[in-house]
Structure 1
């Protein structure tokens, strides 16, 4: 696979490595180094990259200079010390990374930007030390850390000391994680070896630039070592997104804006103002509805989906993708945004309004990677001190063979368990169908609400009818017996409140339903945000501890 870059033929013209077209250098600078003909993303110097990312190009380098030395006395075809001298002269850098501070979208950040021109961006002691110092500044000043990677891997001329830099930088990231300071990796082409297997993928958020390639071993090494033929898109940004390894793939022109929204939506802020009487807390205030009619309403494809609610309520939403292990799951949406200026994490099942969309979203039935993605975002929100909103609308977890192979039961169990440890407010709203464990995996909240025409059940009415009645034809009777409506569940304290729906239901006026949801979320978050984190966890555990103890159990 050829190395992709824009090569300079003269001082004023450059040749695109993607399509070989010659471009005037000033024109290429206006397109941020992206070929206007083939959209190839050419390589940038560290200084160019830093200027592109920070507001007004105002980047301040760290006041330190760290230089590598030839500890091993290493010589291959040339002495290592000579290679260092040449690289410094050619790039004007002390080593393969430029570190400093600036602002992105008005949020102060620490930046560590690698430069592939310096010995292939290889990770040696100086690079590890500089990135670690940048992380330490980020920790001390509580600034998010943004690392831009471009590397062939660890620097062989420094032997095992280069290998140790993987752990050295990782311990610095662990410090940021423990302190609740956000870290972000921006993968550029190429990112391989020790960099890929450490700080490029161990940050809180990982985003790949369009055209980037990332992997532990390069394609040539893999093919020569095990003789395996690789697919054309192997290790490309799209491949990484499909396999759940990155949160997003972005065009260079969109990168700074995306980072700006992410940074704004992950900073703890004041709770929104509460809204009185945003939801009903007394079953007597609700009109009784026929459960089978409610089932039909909950399943109506005209009801607003999670993405519809987000579009109507949440500003600057940044969706994150993938479980970082296996794949992405389109049946679960997860990310960060602003509710009335307050950062929130929003996680929800996603269905659709028509057959094509329903098929693409697997009818809102998550696979294990969907639950793992949700948990990854919840844990990130918890570290950052950002409240969590979960929107439940699923017939249940996907029951397919691949889901079982991926550990469906384990994924659900881990979510249910882990949600009891989250030290931030969690508001759950059942917006449509709340189907069994597939719903509960997103529904362990401090405050659990339902829409008036939503359902929440241990099994679908059809499933219950088939098992207990021996036929699916008694589904309506099963729905009535299961007590699955909001009014009934409020009476059993399974939910804490019921959100009213407009006349004719949420499908009749989706905008009004979303507005009612917003009022309920504001009220819930205003109350919960005043609580101490330890009290939140204790109250959440006590809430679920109480189920089944009133009227159902008695001591023998």
Structure 2
């Protein structure tokens, strides 16, 4: 019987045995664990039949605990068989400080090499996952705790440079106690060196994915592990800058259960998703396919070389004529029902069963993967986002989510009122979209930004302002649909777009009717009068030019048939994205800025709704 959680420690003193013909191989202690008739889970203490344990990828079938893997085992599980081509850094670990503690560092290095058969704490390769090309680096905790020394830093940097050269997504599988103390400040410099290499991939638009495994701490967590576009983590894995013992010794308090675990990190906005080991290949394949879309298209290349202009040669008139064409040819975008007054529109926009962002994502997009967190400590539930496929092409999707008819869920979602973390999460996802050349679809449905004390302390105003500035210069197509309430700056923070549509029963305003009535009429009961005066309904907004088109809803409202509402929304968005995809980035930005520049200018004369199709 073998204790599955003690495998890495036991392996440090073991010899080598070959696996699958690779030059690098797993230790005999690991092989023994795989071949043992029975293994015991350290978390639940249940015995697991060895062959079954191997079939379930070293995950306890009783409690789900994920046993640690060696770097070799990790690649064997993740990579398509026969596709691996090793990347050799050509740098052997050395002893720049001639460091000695209780033993010379050179002796420790020699033992780690002998025990693992590895040159240092990571291996790298070109390969494929689910048929998609990838450059991958996998760390191994058995080698001096997976510590980041000069050789590991050089290997990761070389892998990033190879990823840059070939425009191939980079996957980093982390397992580390932190920077290697025995190499002193030179080890510290590897944090900056690897961060710089990932920065170059950002500039080039190359996808970086981090897979965090247990444990990932210190200088690795504070550099490449958390600088990726997408951060995935295995269930129960731990990540942090300082380890639990250091924190407890420093603050003199016992840490709460689950601190720094995957579940804690997800709740606090530090990772995008927790992915069980059995789902890793498919999930990584999905995101690598998105990364495979980053090669510049032919039109962008031609524009960059100066060989062409806008296809129609009339760039200044494109935005207006496109909106007219949509209105003229798409009955789905006809003006709203004439018998729906402003207050009726407000009540329908607020209907608790009205579909919100995740409802539309499930119906409009194929294979939607939600991403989480602002990377600053929170994951606002009122704003959701992620990557999905529309007509088999990836898009970045961001929207307010109110939570549906269940009151408890609506409260948990803050009724769609975003905190600063929500706006910062949206900004993070939109910056990722810009890097990966993904169109952005935003859905607006919020009474406004969260008015709480914590939101104000967290910089609510600045978070909204940053989004307005960011969206005005995004170099990718942006389409917004106001699907319910469009309340004040909390709505606009997701709505600086190339095309702004509104659902038939949607509303969009500088303030809620109740707020306006309380301030100007001194009577909240005057809200219906204020709603009419503010002209917040779809037809009025179309007439003022605030929106480009109106998306129809099923009879009675979107809540009466969510599936049909989603079809109507999808059919409104699809032609706009198809048109905008062919527009060069600099022209997109110029026209988007011109659109918002015109509002309120003396030369701006918006047409009435009934004139929009002329």
Given the two structures, how large is their TM-score scaled by the length of structure 2?
0.86
Consecutive unaligned residues of structure 1, counting only runs of 5 or more, are none
User: Equivalences for 1:83-94 in 2 at 5 Å?
Assistant: 83-94=108-119
Pick the aligned partner of 2:329 from 277, 288, 307.
277
Q: 1:486 to 1:98 in 2, by over 3 A?
A: same
Give the aligned partner of residue 601 of structure 2. 549
Pick the aligned partner of 1:236 from 232, 236, 261.
261
Give the aligned partner of residue 338 of structure 2. 287
Task: Tell me, in whole angstroms, the C-alpha distance in 2 between the residues paired with 1:250 and 1:163.
Answer: 30
- The answer to whether the 8 A contact 2:333-2:551 is kept is no
Q: How far 1:15 moved relative to its partner?
A: 3.1
Pick the aligned partner of 2:389 from 311, 332, 338.
338
Q: How far 1:52 moved relative to its partner?
A: 1.4
Pick the aligned partner of 2:191 from 147, 161, 166.
166
Pick the aligned partner of 2:432 from 380, 386, 391.
380
Give the aligned partner of residue 305 of structure 2. none
User: Equivalences for 1:293-312 in 2 at 5 Å?
Assistant: 293-312=344-363
Task: Tell me, in whole angstroms, the C-alpha distance in 2 between the residues paired with 1:470 and 1:129.
Answer: 67
1:402 is the counterpart of 2:454: yes
Q: How far 1:373 moved relative to its partner?
A: 0.1
Task: Tell me, in whole angstroms, the C-alpha distance in 1 between the residues paired with 2:136 and 2:551.
Answer: 44
Q: 1:281 to 1:25 in 2, by over 3 A?
A: closer
CA offsets per residue over residues 299-355 of structure 1, 9 Å max, x none?
112222111111112111111101000210111111111101111000000012221
- The answer to whether the 8 A contact 1:266-1:344 is kept is no
1:520 is the counterpart of 2:545: no
User: Equivalences for 1:460-475 in 2 at 5 Å?
Assistant: 460-475=512-527
1:531 is the counterpart of 2:583: yes
Give the aligned partner of residue 214 of structure 1. 239
Pick the aligned partner of 1:125 from 125, 130, 150.
150
Q: 1:65 to 1:266 in 2, by over 3 A?
A: closer
CA offsets per residue over residues 146-176 of structure 1, 9 Å max, x none?
1011001111111111111111111110110
Q: How far 1:36 moved relative to its partner?
A: 1.6
- 3-state SS of 1:5 partner: helix
User: Equivalences for 1:172-211 in 2 at 5 Å?
Assistant: 172-211=197-236
Task: Tell me, in whole angstroms, the C-alpha distance in 2 between the residues paired with 1:459 and 1:157.
Answer: 60
Q: How far 1:279 moved relative to its partner?
A: 6.3
- The answer to whether the 8 A contact 1:392-1:428 is kept is yes
- The answer to whether the 8 A contact 2:424-2:463 is kept is yes
Pick the aligned partner of 1:415 from 456, 464, 467.
467
User: Equivalences for 1:448-467 in 2 at 5 Å?
Assistant: 448-467=500-519
Task: Tell me, in whole angstroms, the C-alpha distance in 2 between the residues paired with 1:59 and 1:19.
Answer: 36
Given the two structures, how large is their TM-score scaled by the length of structure 1?
0.94
- 3-state SS of 1:391 partner: strand
Give the aligned partner of residue 163 of structure 2. 138
Give the aligned partner of residue 321 of structure 2. none
Pick the aligned partner of 1:51 from 67, 76, 89.
76
User: Equivalences for 1:68-107 in 2 at 5 Å?
Assistant: 68-107=93-132
Pick the aligned partner of 1:371 from 423, 439, 454.
423
- The answer to whether the 8 A contact 1:187-1:207 is kept is yes
